[in-house]
Structure 1
Amino acid sequence: MSKDSKTPKDTHYANLRRAHRDQKRERGELPPASPFRKKPAGDWKAPPQPTDTVWLYGIHTIKATVANPARKILRLMVTQNALARLELGETDGLPFPVEIVAPHDIDKLVGPDAIHQGALVEARPLPVRKLDSLKDKPLILVLDQVTDPHNVGAILRSAVAFDAGALVTTERHSPTESGVMAKSASGALELIPYIQITNLADALEELHQLGFQTIGLDSEGPEPLEQTFSGSKIALVLGAEGKGLRQKTRATCKALARLDMPGAIKSLNVSNAAAIALYAARSHIKA
């Protein structure tokens, strides 16, 4: 049967299937579209966005965003199904406008591959935080040019799980706030300071002045991580996958340490390495 010879019944069932897929995408049950899938005519292009706003999406992300008093929300775009899942109560009482939309309205903003689950907020970036605000924190993470927002989001989630005081990154070669990073963090972006600095070596020296022992994770470190800890304030420094810590960073850290792995694989994804290092550091701090 040709496309032009479809009956009203065929069209009806096609629409039902399409609606069913949309509902599954809202619930996050469908994976992102394959990058090799044929795109429809007029491939999606990101629309212009003001530089002082971010688009954040996903049910867990939106719940955390709304609950964060430091976050200024400009509007919420949401489907009826997602609005029920957000459990926000009466929308008339919210301090931002709520727009009821269809899933494809959000697709137009963030792309058809984003698993937005039918909810998106337009918001201001979080307030800038300084390193001296960390002086009373016993444990922080520092990233040396980790560029993948999925990895950084996963690290944020682990950092919150182990009660780290902040995640510090460089302004260059590091992701800024985005829907991808926030979705990967599953709400953690709203729960921990994400501090971006200009010069990492200078930032490490400032952390030394604040009393932190900076420990760089390095596969060739002279001692296992758990034997390297000293003092009550720890800053774990991790480098990008592949190239690891830069030479200047290695030279500035107070110590270098390795994660001993007895198995056949001797390297880990940076987000997994961060989780293990956080667990070890938290055990030291509690001891």
Structure 2
Amino acid sequence: MAKGERKRALRGRAGRMKGGRGSGRASTGQVRFWGRHAVEAALKNPERSHRKLWATREGIATLDGELPADFPVEYADVQDLGRLVPRDAPHQGLVLECAPLEEIFLEEAMQRSPGKPLLFLDQVTDPHNVGAILRSAAAFEAAAIVTQDRHAPPESGTVAKSASGALEIVPWVRVVNLARAMEEAAEAGYWRIGLAGEAEATLSEALPAGPVALVLGAEGEGMRQNVASHCDALARLPISDAMESLNVSNAAAIALYAMATRDG
């Protein structure tokens, strides 16, 4: 179906905004995404349960592919959509409410993508950073990101927007104990490398030939001692002395590139 035909087919279901207008929050147990990439990726994900799409007609026209004939769509203007999301959020005419993804276990993620990198995030709580790391993880085909329940942001529109669709691609494993999960990765044959600015070896020197679990700590505090002690090696990125450190999402992207090209 062409975009114009899809728009006409949906026009009959257009209605006035209701049920949450002005709240800026999703219904209980739901998450709310905005922006074309995040919304489109969520709509295409068969593992995602969708509740409702609010959209401008221009926003609908930017979507790639058809919506099911019975999909709940409610047309709105830009101002109304702005009331459904955080202030100044770039919704691009699309706001989707849906259920969070089902939880996945680390063992399952490793089995799905054997040998692919794992990213352990220790107290990385900024949703923009987590989203950016997901985006890099998707670009370099990582098996999963792993976070601790108490020290990571929930699945949210901010994470999804920053991930630009990668939230639907990269498994996000949440665990109670990060160090214990790192032990599980080691038992599966992963070499655990923690990024630390004070390390003597560079990442290229520390990289083995086999599977790698990269461990990154929060900016400022870095990895907690218990997490660092569960690494097989600590390594640093060879950045200029003019800069003390990199943003954690930038460091993750560079490290993933280094792992992807180590045999090249």
Relative to the length of structure 1, the TM-score reads: 0.80
Mapping of 1:178-257 within 5 angstroms?
A: 178-257=156-235
Residue 72 (structure 1) shift? 1.1
Residue 49 (structure 1) shift? 2.9
Give the counterpart of 1:260 among 227, 233, 238. 238
Give the counterpart of 1:62 among 24, 35, 39. 39
Q: For residues 270 and 174 of structure 1, what CA distance do their matches in structure 2 show?
A: 14
1:176 and 2:154 equivalent? yes
- Asked whether the 8 Å contact 1:138–1:232 carries over to 2, the reply is no
CA deviation profile, 1:231-285 (whole Å, cap 9, x unmatched) = 411010000000000000010111111111135113101111001100111123x
1:143 and 2:118 equivalent? no
Give the counterpart of 2:75 among 100, 109, 125. 100
SS in 2 for 1:105: helix
Give the counterpart of 2:88 among 93, 106, 113. 113
1:72 and 2:72 equivalent? no
SS in 1 for 2:125: coil
Q: For residues 270 and 213 of structure 1, what CA distance do their matches in structure 2 show?
A: 20
Give the counterpart of 1:126 among 78, 81, 101. 101
Residue 114 (structure 1) shift? 1.0
Aligned to 1:49: 27
Instruction: Supply the AA of the counterpart residue of 1:181.
Output: V
CA deviation profile, 1:78-129 (whole Å, cap 9, x unmatched) = 111100111444x5x3453111111222222213321111101111111111
CA 1:266/1:95 → structure 2, altered by over 3 Å: closer, same or farther?
A: farther
Instruction: Supply the AA of the counterpart residue of 2:233.
Output: A
Deviates more, 1:229-238 or 1:131-140: 131-140
Residue 188 (structure 1) shift? 0.7
- 4+ runs deviating over 4 angstroms: 44-48
Deviates more, 1:121-130 or 1:258-267: 258-267
CA 1:144/1:112 → structure 2, altered by over 3 Å: closer, same or farther?
A: same
- Asked whether the 8 Å contact 2:84–2:95 carries over to 1, the reply is no
Residue 62 (structure 1) shift? 1.1
Deviates more, 1:107-116 or 1:121-130: 107-116
Between the two proteins, what is the percent identity of the paired residues? 46
Mapping of 1:5-16 within 5 angstroms?
A: none
Computed over aligned residues only, the root mean square deviation of the Cα atoms, in angstroms, reads: 1.6
Instruction: Supply the AA of the counterpart residue of 2:140.
Output: F
Deviates more, 1:68-77 or 1:101-110: 101-110
CA 1:192/1:125 → structure 2, altered by over 3 Å: closer, same or farther?
A: same
1:161 and 2:139 equivalent? yes
Relative to the length of structure 2, the TM-score reads: 0.86
Residue 217 (structure 1) shift? 0.3
SS in 1 for 2:87: coil
Instruction: Supply the AA of the counterpart residue of 2:156.
Output: S
SS in 2 for 1:77: strand
Residue 47 (structure 1) shift? 4.2
Aligned to 1:25: none
Q: For residues 96 and 158 of structure 1, what CA distance do their matches in structure 2 show?
A: 31
Q: For residues 74 and 118 of structure 1, what CA distance do their matches in structure 2 show?
A: 17
- Asked whether the 8 Å contact 1:213–1:231 carries over to 2, the reply is no
CA 1:258/1:94 → structure 2, altered by over 3 Å: closer, same or farther?
A: farther
Q: For residues 224 and 123 of structure 2, what CA distance do their matches in structure 1 show?
A: 9
Q: For residues 95 and 231 of structure 1, what CA distance do their matches in structure 2 show?
A: 50
SS in 1 for 2:150: coil
Instruction: Supply the AA of the counterpart residue of 1:54.
Output: V
Q: For residues 73 and 253 of structure 1, what CA distance do their matches in structure 2 show?
A: 39
SS in 1 for 2:192: strand
Instruction: Supply the AA of the counterpart residue of 1:65.
Output: A
Q: For residues 116 and 65 of structure 2, what CA distance do their matches in structure 1 show?
A: 35
